[in-house]
Amino acid sequence: MAVDVKIPPMGESITGGLLAAWLVKNGDAVRKGQPLFSYETDKVTSEGTAEVDGRITISVEAGTEVLVGQVVASIEAGAAGNAPSAAPAPVAAPATPVAAKSGAAAEISPAVRRLSAETGLDPAALEGSGKAGRVTKGDMLAAIAGQVRIKAVTTASSPTTVATPAARSAPAEVPARVGQTTRKRMSPLRRKIAERLVQAKSETAMLTTFNEVNMAPVMELRKRHGEEFLKKYGIKLGFMSFFVKAVVHALKEVPTVNAQLDGEDIIENHFFDIGVAVGTDKGLMVPVVRDCDQLNFAGIEKAIGDYGKRARDGKIQLADLQGGVFTISNGGIYGSMLSTPILNHPQAAIMGLHNIVERPVVENGQIVVRPIMYLALSYDHRIIDGKEAVTFLVKVRQFIEDPQRLLFGV
C-alpha cells in the first residue's frame, strides 16, 4: 500500500514554501520517523519525516514551490528491507541537429545549447575543435569574444554569410560575462527577511545612538568563575548572558524602550522576552528567550545555545521566533567594529554588540589600555526620545562595567 508524503502544516499563516532539498534518493528504503526533505517557508525551516517503513518514490523535485498538504512523494509500505536504488537518470533534452559536414557531431552539448539560446549564435556556423568536429563551449566563447571568424553557411536557396561579433560596427561597451554568473531564486525565508527590513526602514523613524563599554570587569568575572560555572551547569559562561541581564534591568528603568507602536496607541510591555539574533546559512533568525528576568545566567546561556543549534540545524519552530519585546544582535563574533542595526519590526529598539578591541582610554588622568566594545542602539524615534535612548544605553554600560550591580539591580 502506498502512503502519500505531504508538505506538513507549519502554522495558521503559512500556506506554502520551498521544497529546499531531498535528504533521501528516489527509490531509497526509508524508516518511520526518518527525515525525508527540508522545507523552507518565509518564517522557518523544517523537515518532513516518513510516516511508515518502505520504499520512497519522489514526485516533486527539490527547488520547487509547494503548498501545505501537497503530495511530493509516496512510500510503498513494507519495502523497507530492499536495498536503496539509485536516483533515476535525468531525461536528456532533445538533441539539436547540427549541419552534418565531414564527420561533425550529430548533437550539441547542453552548455553549447544554452550559449546559443543566450546569444543567438548558431553553432552550425562554427568550425568545431572537438572530437569529430564537434562544437565545444570553448568554441562558442571564442566566437562570442570575436577571436574566431564565423564561417559562411550555405543553404539550399542561397549562400549566406553570418556576421561575426568582431564585424559589428558598434561593439558593446561592457563585455558579456557568459557562463560567469549564476542566478537563483530567493528562498521564502530570505524574501521575508528582505520584506521586513524594508518595512522597518520605511515605516519607522529609525535613529541610532552609540556608546562604548569597558569589558574588563566582565572578562575578569568570566576568568574567575568560568571553569566552576562550566562544571556545575555544563555550559560555558558567555558574554551574552551579561548583556541580556543588563538589558532587562535597563528596560525596567527606562520602560519606554520596552514598548511598540500600534496605530495611534503605544503598547508598553511589562514582560521581558528578549530576541537574540542567530546567523545561519539560510539567513538571520531571531529566536526569543522567554522571561529573562526570571532566568539565571545558566538558564539564559542554555536557552541561547539550544536555539542557536536548532536554528542552524533547521529545526527552529515558528513559536520560537514570535513575541519578543527587544532584540540583541552580536556582529562582534564576525569581527564587526561598528554598525547600525535595523529594527526587528514591530519592536521599538534593537541593540548591536561589536568586537572587543584593546584601545587607549583615560582613567584618573592616566592613559591605560582597556578591552573596549562599541554598543549601538537603534530605536523608533516616534515613541522613544533621544534622552531615553541614551539613558538606556548608559544603564547597560554601567551594568557591564560593574556587573555586581546586576545582583542587586542598582
In tens, the pLDDT along 294-352 reads 999 999 999 999 998 888 887 888 788 888 999 999 999 889 999 999 999 889 999 99
**Which residues make beta-bridge pairs with 280?**
283
Tens digit of each residue's pLDDT (9 = 90 or more) over 109-127 = 766 777 777 777 777 777 7
Q: Which CATH number fits domain 2-77: 3.20.20.60, 1.50.40.10, 2.40.50.100, 3.40.50.720?
A: 2.40.50.100
Proportion of the chain above pLDDT 90, given as a percent: 40
CA distance 359 to 356: 9
CA distance 23 to 30: 11
Q: Where in the chain is the domain with CATH 3.30.559.10?
A: 188-408
Q: What average pLDDT score do residues 78-104 get?
A: 46
- Identify which of 53-62, 126-135, 243-252 has the greatest average pLDDT: 243-252
CA distance 180 to 167: 24
Query: What is the model's pLDDT at position 166?
Result: 45
Q: One-letter amino acid identity for 339?
A: S
Q: Which CATH number fits domain 188-408: 3.30.70.1340, 3.40.120.10, 3.40.50.300, 3.30.559.10?
A: 3.30.559.10
Query: What is the model's pLDDT at position 104?
Result: 42
Query: What is the model's pLDDT at position 248?
Result: 96
User: And the C-alpha cell for 200?
Assistant: 522597518
Residue 98: is its pLDDT beyond 50?
no
User: And the C-alpha cell for 295?
Assistant: 532566568
State yes or no: is 381 an active-site residue. Answer: yes
Query: What is the model's pLDDT at position 84?
Result: 47
Q: What average pLDDT score do residues 357-382 get?
A: 95
Rg of the chain over Cα atoms, rounded to whole angstroms, equals 30
Q: Where in the chain is the domain with CATH 2.40.50.100?
A: 2-77
Q: Which residues contact 41 (CB under 8 A, 6 or more apart)?
A: 10, 14, 16, 17, 18, 188, 189
CA distance 214 to 187: 40
Please answer whether residues 246 and 400 qualify as being in contact, where contact means their C-beta atoms are separated by less than 8 angstroms. yes
Question: Pick the catalytic residue: 4, 291, 313, 385?
Answer: 385
Proportion of the chain above pLDDT 70, given as a percent: 81
Residue 149: is its pLDDT beyond 70?
no
234: left (phi over 0), alpha (psi -120 to 50) or beta: left
- Identify which of 46-50, 168-172, 368-372 has the greatest average pLDDT: 368-372
Query: What is the model's pLDDT at position 379?
Result: 96
Query: What is the model's pLDDT at position 176?
Result: 65
Query: What is the model's pLDDT at position 107?
Result: 57
Question: Pick the catalytic residue: 122, 273, 306, 381?
Answer: 381
Please answer whether residues 72 and 6 qualify as being in contact, where contact means their C-beta atoms are separated by less than 8 angstroms. yes
User: And the C-alpha cell for 146?
Assistant: 570575436
Tens digit of each residue's pLDDT (9 = 90 or more) over 184-231 = 777 777 777 788 888 888 888 999 999 999 999 999 999 999 999 999
CA distance 266 to 271: 15
State yes or no: is 313 an active-site residue. Answer: no
Query: What is the model's pLDDT at position 182?
Result: 83
Residue 237: is its pLDDT beyond 80?
yes
Q: What average pLDDT score do residues 397-402 get?
A: 95
Task: Count the neighbouring beta carbons within 10 Å of the beta carbon of residue 410.
Answer: 10
CA distance 245 to 232: 20
Cis peptide before 360 (omega within 30 of 0): no
